[in-house]
Every structure is written in structure tokens, then in C-alpha cells.
Amino acid sequence: MSLTDLTPEQLAVVDATAPSMIVRASAGSGKTTVLVAKYIRYVTEGGMSPAEVWTVTFTRKAAAEMKRRIVAELDRLGFSAAAQQAETGPIQTLHSACERILRENSLAAGLDPEFEIIEGHVRSAMVREALRNSVADMIERSPEASRLVDHLAGVRQYGFGSPLDSALEQTVSRLTEKLRAAGLRSQEVALDYADEEAVVRLWCQEMTAEARQSWPESPEINDALSASKAAQGLAERRLGVPEWLSSFSLEDADMTSGLVQLAVATWERLEALMMERQAFDFTSLESLAVRLIEQDAGVRERLSCQVRALLVDEAQDLNPNQYRLIDSIDAPFKMLVGDFQQSIYRFRDADPRLFLERAEQWPVFPLSVNHRSNKAVLDAVDQVFGFWWGEGLNRMEPSLRAEAPPVQAIELWTVDHKDTEGLAALVRQLVDEGHTPKSITLLCRDNKAMNDHARRLSRHGVPHQVIGGSETLYTRMEVRDIGNALRALVDQEDDDAMACFLHSPFVGLSLDGVVSALADRPLSRSLPTLALENEFDQSALDKFQSWFWPLQRRAARLSVWEVLSALFAESPYFESLARDPEATQRLANVRKLLSLAIDRPELSAHDFADQIREIQKLRHREGLGETMDDEADAVTIMTIHGSKGLEFETVVVPDTFKRPQNRDRVASDPRRGLVATRYSAKSSAFQMLQESDRRQEDAEAKRLVYVAMTRARKKLCLAVGGSATPLAAAIAKALGFPDHMPKGVHIREAPGP
């Protein structure tokens, strides 16, 4: 890359001297190129040192890529000293930036400079501890909280939530997380929800504000605006305002008060706990950094000398707290790069409206040339999103150098979104028609779907690799196998574990064999003398006898990784696993588990087995082991979230994004500090919040489709058939399905059942 290769739009960004600016970077518009070029300009002509140009991304991967390109470019231009500085400089994720600020100013922040960062189950254990303490405490102190606890104690959880997590604990901990990430002050929230009266007053205020927007002139609403009237019991007196506006259930106001009080207490307790142990999670890193900068003039001063430019990537995915961080840093140049249309991190409290608001205030530099996709793909994107967003869509120009689209660039696949079998058959067709597997990528919404597609593709003999996903590591078969193996080794009473273990690849007994073994219990006593009819089973059993009992005698005295090493060395586990079609992934998972075990040498096999079981119950997530393989000629399967920033020759969008139904009894808009419950009747506050939540969720579902479609370079296949979801139906309709499809859009029929 050199500056002469930049488009006029890109050059405008690099040349701009505005102190703060927004870059509206459409998909494939070369935003990383521009960020790198801007950085280079600052360093090579702006007299800044790499240490002074803070470059912030969301993912480690993006940060690494950014750094790689910056360093390479500085080297190429002969700035080798600067390249070296950039290598260790502040090109990093937002969370590492927070961490850096806190460690460098630990004295001012009142932190141990060696503080720990916690995630995963260590973190949730701490949340739970805080929660239990604060519940116990609040039952005594708050009548509202105690009424809520009584109420929830009688509520049964449907679905398969862990029995460990009561309805109460789930509800409170989730609300706590939301409030924590919203950048609010706990004392203020507590005040707003101090009792039933306060809650009704707050709801009334917000509802009337909301109603004002729809009916600005309504006199009834003016009436209702009087907060004192509201507090006297709007629900009873029905002030002649539209019913939905006044239908607050006082009982629900009471329980909402109790719930928020519990969440705030948990939040404060959790902060205290983290401080006490000097162990913080990501949310805390953010808010500690914000607090430090906002409240300490000295730190602010130091930072403003340190940071001469602040470049923020993927700014549409910043949450309110992160915006505060960006705003609190006093840098002479700030540049936010993002695309509203690609905001897909709502679940992490990303609020793309903040980006839009900022774009009203700061000069906006658009990057509208797409250097990735051919014209057919861009046209399809235009049609679908023009249909949804109208003038709101930022249309993209095809690059002058774009390749001509293939004959059949856009395909609508008439498979049902549930029919993964049919979809796999169609992928098979693509391969048979000459598309190489590695040119094809399936972009799924969730991990469950990824694994389903993977299995179907196996059945059709299509090579594939699943990237990144995180099907719960601890529920994967091999992890289960290992958990059972450990338990069978350390707990002689546990016949269930032993039975599963016998059937697992560690031993390899057939189900019949296991059943006959189970005839005589306990297994630890009967097994040594067991004889089986089936000769394969018998030989598997003999092999098992030879290594299992000696290991069992030692197991209690060994640490878990020693036990695991012995297990792997002596059982036929790896040989059996190697025959599995998903062997690579499975081995990676086993390796990952082993490395977890090696990290904790103090754990006994018993502890570790307990931990696996506990975590399985909690359905906790741990990333799977990495298995990226660029060389393999295999269809790639990944989530849309994982695909962000990447591009693929042919993209298949196999599922059509059904919004999971929301059974929550708590609705909230943390940005406004609003919470409502519906434990008794449905209150209008609850309905308002739930509806707005749904609207936002639906809007994000569309943006997900946008991200997926704009990953394609040459060819795009969209599953829209069968019992299509509303979203899929709209996509099909926008593309003229079935009778008015423009040139280049084709139908591929699902094969018969």
C-alpha cells in the first residue's frame, strides 16, 4: 500500500485535520487500510511517536492484524525505529487499553499494580458469592426485596436452567450485569427504585415522555405528567389517560423495587469483593478506568500528554461506558471508525445509536466504495436493505477494479431453515458443480447450527472445518468422557460414571456389554471378574483391566494432569478418537482441557471432575481449542459474529435468524436506567420496555444479515425457502422471488426428501 493507491475518499480521511471526526466505513471499504494510513501519516509527517497514537479495536485478532500492517508499512517506508516502537505500543483492544491505564496509574487508582483479570467461572463464582451475601443481607433490610424473594421462591423455572441457579439468582445476576455495564451510578439507581412510590413515579415520567413523542399535543398526557398525581396511585385513579399509559400494577412496582434493590446491592458487593481481592472482570476494567480518568485531574493531565491521537475501530459497537472512556481521554485528535449497519453486539451492550448521535456532532467522512464484492452481490445488498432501510441505507459503489460476477452470482435456496439435511445437499451440489470446498463459507447465527451443519456435511462427504465456535466445551462429548473417566477413577461408588466410561473411547465396550456389566453392582467390585460373551467386548475389557486398576490405586495421590497423562498414555483413547471424522476438533478440545489441568497443578482428579460437572451444570462457556487451517480444502463454517471483518468467495447464509422468544419477566433499558417486571399483571411500563427491546433485537437481526451478505466476494446463497421466517420471506420478496427476480438471481430447489 502507498498513499497513491488510496481512493479520494480514503485520502480525504488521511488528509483531514479536524480534531475529532467520524469515518463512516461501509463493508469492504478498506477501513483498516485507512486506519493504517492515518496512523502512518501521524507518525511519519505529524511528528508523533507510535507511543502517542492510541489505536483501539475490539478483538485481539483485529489488534494483531492492525499492528502487523502498521509495523510492516513503517518498515517498508524505512522508519524502522518507529516500527519497533509500534510493535510494543498502544495498538490494542479496548480492554487492554483500560488495563494499561489502570496499571500505569495504579497508585492513583488505589489498585495493586499486579491486579488480576478474571473471566469465566472464576468470575461467576465471585458474582454468585456477592449475590448470596447481598440477598441474605437485603432480606433483613428491605421489605421490598424480601417480598420479591418470597415471591420468587415459589416460582419454578421452566426449561433446563441449572437447578443450582434459582429463578431468583438468575434474575438478579442478569440485571446486575446489565446495570453494571450501563455506566450508571449505583446510588442513583437505588434512589430511583427505593420503593413502590419511587418506581411508579419513574415509570410515569418515562411513559409520558415516550407518549409525548407519539402524541405531542395530547392534553391527557399533560395531565399525567404531574408526577405527584402519579405517585398518589395512578393505577387506582385512572386519570383519563389512555389505559396503556396508566396501567401500572402497584404490586409489580413493589417487586421491581425489590429486584433493583437486590441487583444494586449485589453490584456494590461485587465491586467491594473485586477490590478486596484485586481481581476484576472486563466490565470493571472499563468502569474503573472511566472513574479514574473522570475523577483524577492528575491522571487526566498525564494522559493528555501521553495520547496525541486516539483512533477507534468498530466504534458502532461501543457501549455507553466505553463511550465515556473515549470521551474522558483528552486527545487532540480523535477518529471513530465504524458502520451503524454492522452493529451486532447488542448483547454486549453495544448501542449503535450512540455512534449515530456522534455522527451528528462530528464531521463525517464516508468511505463508500466497496473493494470486496462484485456488482451482483452489491445489487442484492442494495435491494434487500433498500427495502428495509430505504434512504437510511448507506449505498456502496462497486470498485472500478471489481471482477465481473459469475453467471449465477445470487442464489435463493428454497430449503426450510430447519432442513439442514437439504442445505447440506445443496452445498454438495455446489461442490459437484466445481466450486472448491475452501471457496465456500457457511455463516451461521449460532454455534448449535454450526455443529448441526457440520454433521450434515459429513454425511454428504463434504470436507469442512468449524471455526472459532464455542459449543460449550464442557458439554462436548470428549469433555464429558474425560469427566466420567476421572470420576470412575476416584469415586468407586459412581456406577453411572463408570458405565459411561466403559462405553467411551477410553474402553470401548458396546452398549450391550455395558448393560451386562451393570447386572452386577457395584461395578468397582464386579468388574474385575466380569466375563463377556462378545469377544470384541471381552478383549476391550481385558485391556481395560490391565491398566485401570493400577491407575485407580494411585489416582488419589496424583494431581489431575498426572492422572490425565496416565489415562491418555495407557488407554486406547487417542487411537479411537483419531478415527472420528471430527478428530481434529476433538483433539484440540482434549488438548485445551489438558492445558487447563496443567495450569492448576494443585487440583486433584476429584476436584477437577467436580469442576467439570459443576461447569456442565452451569452451562458455562469456554472457547474451543483453535483449529484454524488455511491450507485445508474444506468448507468453512463459522458464526456471523466471527466472520466480521473477513471476506469469502462464496457465502452461504443457511439459517434465517428467528428471534428466540423472550420469556423474561424482567425488561430493562439500562441506558435510561429503566427496569420493569411483570410478576403479577402486565404493566404498561413492562410492555413498553419489552417492545422497545424487541424492536432493537429485530433491527439487529437485519444488521446480522447485512454483515453476512457483505462478506461475499463473488457469490451469495441465501436459504429462504420452506416455512420461511419473516426475515427470510422479506429477503426473498426484496429480491423479487419468485417471479420478478432480476438478472443474476437464481433459484436452487431443495432436493426431495
Partner DNA sequence: GGGTCTCGAGTTTTT
Partner DNA sequence: CTCGAGACCC
Judged by the rule CB under 7 A, the positions of this chain that interact with DNA are: 58-60, 93-95, 119, 158-159, 282, 344, 346-348, 445-448, 468-470, 621, 623, 639, 641-642, 658-664, 697, 723-726
Q: Where are the strands (E) in 614-673, listed by range?
A: 635-639, 648-653, 666-669
What b-and-e string marks burial along 567-588, b requiring 16 or more CB atoms within 10 Å of the CB?
bbebbbbeebbeeeebebbbbb
Beta strands 674-677 and 666-669 are antiparallel
Of 56 and 377, the one with the shorter C-beta distance to DNA is 56
Residues 6+ apart with CB under 8 A from 14: 3, 6, 34, 37, 38, 41
CB of 572 to DNA, least distance (A): 32
- Output the smallest distance, CB 663 to DNA, in A: 4
Cβ proximity to DNA, 282 vs 547, nearer residue: 282
Only one residue has cell 446495570, namely: 179
Q: Per the omega criterion (within 30 degrees of 0), is the bond before 601 cis?
A: no
Least distance between DNA and beta carbon 502 (Å): 31
Query: Considering the complex, what minimum distance in angstroms separates the CB of residue 701 from DNA?
Result: 8
| Minimum CB–partner distance for residue 682 and DNA (Å) | 8
Q: Toward DNA, which CB reaches closer, 524 or 680?
A: 680
The least CB distance from residue 347 to DNA, in Å, is 3
Question: What span, in angstroms and rounded, lies between the C-alpha atoms of 98 and 243?
Answer: 47
Nearer to DNA, 395 or 659 (CB): 659
Rounded to whole angstroms, the Cα distance separating 710 from 721 reads 21
Please state, in angstroms and rounded to a whole number, the distance separating the CA atoms of residues 98 and 118: 14
Q: Closest approach of Cβ 709 to DNA, in Å? A: 17
Report, in Å, the least distance between residue 445 CB and DNA: 6
| Closest distance of CB 254 from DNA, Å | 19
Q: Which is nearer to DNA, 58 or 385 (CB)?
A: 58
Quote the CA–CA distance of 611 and 623 in Å, as a whole number. 17
By beta-carbon proximity to DNA, the closer residue of 468 and 508 is 468
Of 401 and 663, nearer to DNA (C-beta) is 663
Q: What is the DSSP letter of 659?
A: P
Which residues contact residue 720 at a Cβ distance below 8 angstroms, ignoring those fewer than 6 apart? 412, 413, 414, 656, 728, 729, 731, 732, 737
Question: Cell 472420528 sits at which residue?
Answer: 580
For DNA, give the closer residue by CB, 47 or 660: 660
Question: What b/e string do you get for 181-211 counting C-beta neighbours within 10 Å, with b at 16 or more?
Answer: bbbbebeebbebbebbbbbbbbbbbbbbebb
Give the Cα separation of 513 and 515 in Å (integer): 5
User: Based on the number of CB atoms within 10 Å of its own CB, is 552 exposed (0-12), middle (13-18) or buried (19 or more)?
Assistant: middle
Least Å distance between CB 155 and DNA? 9
- 93 membership: H or E segment, kind and range: strand 91-93
Sign of CA dihedral 69, 74, 75, 80: negative
Nearest distance in Å: CB 666, DNA: 8
Least separation in angstroms between CB 243 and DNA:
18
User: Which CB atom, from 154 or from 159, has the smaller least distance to DNA?
Assistant: 159
Considering beta carbons, is residue 59 or 226 the nearer one to DNA? Answer: 59
Q: From CA 238, how far away is CA 125, in angstroms rounded?
A: 46
How far apart CA 546 and CA 11 sit, in angstroms, is: 72
Q: Hunting for cell 487411537 — which residue is that? A: 575
Q: What SS3 string covers 704-743? A: HHHHHHCCEEEEEEEECCCCCCHHHHHHHHHCCCCCCCCC
Is the Cβ of residue 322 or residue 373 nearer to DNA in the bound state? 322
Q: Give 611 or 656: the residue with its C-beta nearer to DNA.
A: 656
